[in-house]
Structure 1
Amino acid sequence: MADHSLAHRAQHQTPTETVHLPPSTPPTNHGKTVAAWTTTWTIVLGALVAALGVAFALVWMFWVGMGVIVLGIVLGKVLQVLGHGQGGAATLAREKRRGGH
């Protein structure tokens, strides 16, 4: 009886398997950019305000929170276009100053 265990298959790959690697090395910042952090924390703040609006039954506070969320999305996109996103000029310059990470 042939051994078809996971360990056996990991050690003895079949010749028909193809490995698909990315064409280049992914960025080293893992998305830790000014645009990403600004977007994330603005959306979190907006969600908190909207949640408080729901909890206290204040419709206006809910909509203010939703507005802050939309503002965060727009602000993040603007920062990305200005070069503060992944692969942007400002991000690459900051990585170069800090040694690549």
Structure 2
Amino acid sequence: MSDQSLAHRAQNATRTETVHLPPTVAPVNHGKTVAGWTTTYGVVGGGLVAALGVTFALVWLAWVGLGIVVVALVLGKVLQSLGYGQGGSHTTARDSRAGAH
């Protein structure tokens, strides 16, 4: 009878695992793009305004905050389509300049 303990199986691998690698190298900017930061700041700011509206029972301020969130999301998508997002032309050009990471 063969040894089927966990230690034996760990030391004597009988099959190989399939490695699934991405087809291309990921961008090196780690999401630090104009579109990404604009969207992030807009959503956080709008959420803060909406939270203040809820806290002080000002319904109109809560709706203004939600409106800011929606505008930030749309603006981020527009900036992404204009090339300021991940892999966009403006972002790639900025990353290829000397000293950029």
TM-score, with normalisation over the residues of structure 1?
Answer: 0.86
1:23 aligns with 2:5: no
Report runs of 4+ in structure 1 exceeding 6 Å deviation: 8-11
Distance 2:94 2:70 in 1: 27
Q: Distance in 2 between matches of 1:72 and 1:11?
A: 54
- Evaluate the alpha carbon distance shift between residue 10 and residue 24 of structure 1 in structure 2; reply closer, same or farther with a 3 A threshold: farther
Give per-residue Cα distances to partners, 1:21-54, cap 9 Å, x unaligned: 1111111111110000000000000000000000
Q: What is the aligned-residue RMSD (CA, Å)?
A: 2.0
- Alignment coverage as a number of residue pairs: 99
Q: Distance in 2 between matches of 1:2 and 1:33?
A: 52
Distance 2:15 2:28 in 1: 32
Structure having the higher Rg: 2
In 1, distance between residues paired with 2:29 and 2:9? 34
In the TM superposition, residue 2 of structure 1 has moved relative to its aligned partner by 3.7
Give TM-score scaled by structure 2 length: 0.86
1:4 correspondence with 2:6 = yes
Which runs of 5 or more residues in structure 2 are unaligned?
A: none
Whole-angstrom distance in 1 between the partners of 2:32 and 2:9: 37
- For residue 83 of structure 1, report the CA deviation from its aligned partner: 0.4
Q: Structure 1 vs Structure 2: percent identity of aligned residues? A: 64
Contact 1:28–1:100 (CA under 8 A) maintained in structure 2: no
